[in-house]
Amino acid sequence: MLAYLIDWLSLLGRWMHLIFGIAWIGASFYFVWLDNHLLPPIDPALDEKGVGGELWSVHGGGFYNAQKYRIAPARLPEHLHWFYWEAYSTWLSGFFLLCLIYYGGAEAYLIDPAVAQLSPLEAIAIGVLTLVAGWIVYDRLCESALARFPGALLGALAVFLSAAAYGLCHVFSGRGAFIHFGAMLGTIMVANVFFVIIPAQRELVRAKNEGRDPDPLDAARGKQRSVHNTYFTLPVLFTMISNHYALTTGATYNWLVLIAMTFSGAAIRVYFVLRHKSGGRASPIPLATGLVSLAVVALLLRPVESAGLPDPGKAEAQSRESRPAALPSGQQMVALVAVRCAVCHAARPTQPGFVAAPNGVLLDTPERIAVQREKMRVQLATHAMPIGNLTHLTEEERAALIAWIDAGTPR
């Protein structure tokens, strides 16, 4: 019953996290787009009122006229909408999922004994410390003298994030490392909103109500953090889905994959921001750089031909001499899958904590194993499965299963 309850909490938590994230990222993307599409007001009266830019748009059967003031209107309206609950709700729901899945199930999802021998308490402490320390280091870099030199600050942030990716991938399981890297970026983003962006906006409102000029430094800091947030968005979204793709989290040099995917996402986002600013005529270099980075990762992670999966018909026609000499019989392999894999991947899992087969993958009959063999090989080769090696699959058994799959899963 507990596993069933956790599944429902996970489902509802993911649903809420997705809804809140769409609201936050959607609003962020819209305002970045809006800022970069504002045009000088045509009406001189608007210019006299302090309007610095405006935009006409049509949507949902109506016309909209968005206006942005250079500083603030002469009189603030009674109702002023703030954008921050989307960010806070996204982080809270994400942290709830982190606690429920990765901290509550640390031995299965967070710890990989082949990477580091950690107790659940040690792993959880490192995970929480990563979120806190990530924000502190990032904030100190932004508040340092490097802030006056955007290029130098960008370089320092790149070094910091690369070191974090390397460190996490040498402490946690692949999926645990990737999700904590994304959680660290997400924590930085929401902390930017809570500690810098919203306080800067509140100071602007206070200054206007008190009849004094606001400190331009606050506005500059808020703008800087807002820009950073939009570039972090795509890398965070990648880490959110990375647990479904063991070819990335389970790669031998998964920390390099994480760095490359982060760089790619940020570069692609840079292109779209520049495209907004230039009316669609931005240099394609950032986009091309991001796509090339993706292509290089895909190329380097491709299965080598000698280890690839042969055509089933050709595999059955191979002579026994071409197969590994120590390859057990098909019946023995099916029995091994039943003990090491099908305890979770069955119509009725027997492994504690599982009420349904993960991702709907069933391996409880020879026919189902044959259908899933390509996915099985990736999961086995990357050590992504068994998750947390809960069923204690040995390296010899893993090698035998991979050889059996390469031979076409003969019976």
* CA distance linking residue 402 with residue 381, whole number of Å: 7
For residues 370-380, give the mean pLDDT: 89
> Phi/psi zone of residue 50: left (φ > 0), alpha (ψ -120 to 50 degrees), beta?
left
Higher pLDDT, 318 or 373: 373
Q: What pLDDT shows up at residue 326?
A: 56
* Cα–Cα dist 244/285, whole Å: 30
User: Can you give the pLDDT at residue 286?
Assistant: 96
| Statement: residue 314 has pLDDT above 70 | no
pTM for the structure as a whole: 0.86
| Cβ count within 10 A of residue 396 | 9
Evaluate whether 171 touches 177 at the Cβ level (below 8 Å).
yes
Task: Tell me what the mean pLDDT of segment 117-139 comes to.
Answer: 97
Query: What are the C-alpha distances in Å from 67 to residues 34, 39, 46, 207, 267?
Result: 10, 9, 9, 21, 29
Residues above pLDDT 70, as percent of the chain: 94
Q: What H or E segment, with its residue span, contains residue 272?
A: helix 254-277
pLDDT of 140-191, one tens digit each? Answer: 999 999 999 999 999 999 999 999 999 999 999 999 999 999 999 999 999 9
State pLDDT tens for residues 214-232.
788 888 899 899 999 999 9
pLDDT of residue 304: 63
CB neighbour list of residue 405: distance below 8 Å, 6 or more residues apart:
309, 373, 376, 377, 380
Distances, alpha carbon 32 to alpha carbons 202, 228, 288, 375, in Å: 20, 12, 21, 40
SS3 assignment, position 324: coil
Mean of all residue pLDDT scores within the chain: 90
Segment 34-71, tens digit of pLDDT: 999 999 999 999 999 999 999 999 999 999 999 999 88
Q: Where in the chain are the domains?
A: 82-301, 310-406
Can you give the pLDDT at residue 52? 94
Confidence class for position 323, pLDDT limits 50, 70, 90: very low
**Bigger pLDDT: 99 vs 392:** 99
* Distance from the Cα of residue 355 to its chain's centroid: 26
More confident residue, 305 or 367: 367
pLDDT at 257 > cutoff 50? yes
The lowest-confidence range among 203-207, 236-240, 268-272, 316-320 is: 316-320
- Coil, helix or strand at residue 250: coil
pLDDT at 311: 42
**Residue range 184-212: average pLDDT?**
94
Alpha-carbon distance 340 to 396, whole Å?
13
